[in-house]
Amino acid sequence: MEGRLDQPSARAPVVGFVVPRYGADVAGGAEAVVRELAEGLAARGHAIEVLTSCARDHTTWRNEYPAGVSVVEGVTVRRFPAVVSRTRTTRVLFNRAIAAGSPLRLDEQDRWLNDDARVPRLFEYLVDHGRRYRALVLAPYLYWTTVAAAQAWTERSVLMPCLHDEPEAGLEVFRPLFTTVRGIWFLSEPEARLAARLHPDLADHRVIGSGVRPPTAYDAARFRKRYGIEGRFVLYAGRREAGKGWDELLAGFGAACERAALPFSLVTMGAVPVHTSGALAERVVDLGFVPPEDRDDACAAADAVLQPSRYESFSRTIMEAWLAGTFVIANGASAVNRWHCERAGAGLLYDDDLELEQCLRFVADAPDAAAALGAAGRVYALETANWSAVLDRTEAALDTWFPPALPSSTSDEES
């Protein structure tokens, strides 16, 4: 529930989270991790503030939330307008160069970073009032808000990069984030190893992990009835974007169905429309945006959950599938996907379309074996994605880097 505040109070040392977008209806794994971590710390008695933009969507950056201060689930949220004052033409050109591995000068990287959404009033607020905060947690690494906040208060900054093995990760413009901040929180061991490879002089860091709240119950039959889903299906519930492997998944699933008599439809959900044609259109069921409880029930109803992304720092999708006791088929190009599947023994990895077909054939031909493996995944997920343990590690890191005995300054609090 959200309520307005006229005079936000911050008499206790405040932990601030600086993120480009925030809200229960904001799509994205990193955004969900930040929101649940902030709410978890607030529930433990910490004074938590989120400093963010008024935008909901990361493509248009249209300001949809009202600017100002509110309270959401015990967390104080300060919103400032997002600004996209340029054509972004330069960014498109630089994106192509980055993807191709072409070197960019540091000034070109700065232009690329600034030729997107910026939140200048958030930066101004931090410059004026940063001493209010015991620590500033910045996430994810790829955005202007993170770089700007770290420049304003390096010694108070904790980076939560949500790092992927992507071309942007090695850009020089991001190097200070990983080498000069007070500390870094990683969501998984593979993410930490990637950061150390890219930045040998990595700042002090901890693997705090990430949690996923398990539903109290699943109702696969209710999901099928509500959406009219009949027969066997596999599920994709991530962002339908090329960067998350969606286009490759569609093509690979379609090719597998052409070569083999697979019994599956592909059920998918999300905010972005799906465009298919021909025989594939008859196999793909797009439910659009659905509430979290329907997503959870869909995981329980599916024969398998698909994770086609090669860019993962933790993979919430895999944890949600295993919490429902459902088998996972994941892109082996992601070190995080591979790490989870090899440790849990509850999923199969593929590196190309033929291996994807083999994984689908296994689930089609041996549903009982796949279900048994998926059930074992639930044990792994309950241990690995445990919010209580994550919050314990988070508090321990804060106490190490920012000892609670240190006095906090409240002289510059904003009324």
Note the pLDDT tens digit of each residue in 213-266. 999 999 999 999 999 999 999 999 988 888 889 999 999 999 999 999 899 999
DSSP letter, residue 66: P
Q: What is the mean pLDDT of residues 129-135?
A: 94
- pTM for this model (two decimals): 0.87
Note the pLDDT tens digit of each residue in 272-298. 788 888 888 889 999 998 899 999 999
**CATH number, domain 2-82+117-211+387-401, options 3.40.50.2000, 3.30.300.30, 3.30.465.10, 1.10.287.1040:** 3.40.50.2000
Comparing 27 with 73, the larger pLDDT belongs to 73
| pLDDT at residue 414, as a whole number | 43
**Buried-exposed string 81-92: b where 16+ CB fall within 10 A, e elsewhere:** bbeeeeeeeebe
Domain 220-384 belongs in CATH node 3.20.20.30: no
| pLDDT at residue 9, as a whole number | 37
How much of the chain exceeds pLDDT 90, in percent? 78
Does the pLDDT of residue 86 top 80, yes or no? no
Contact 69, 51 (CB under 8 A): no
Looking at the chain, how many residues does it have?
415
Strands of the 133-138 sheet, one edge to the other: 2-4, 68-72, 75-80, 47-53, 14-18, 133-138, 157-159, 183-186, 205-207
| pLDDT at residue 413, as a whole number | 44
Domain ranges of the chain: 2-82+117-211+387-401, 220-384
| pLDDT at residue 405, as a whole number | 55
Question: Over 72-103, what HEC string results?
Answer: ECCEEEEEECCECCCCCHHHHHHHHHHHCCCC
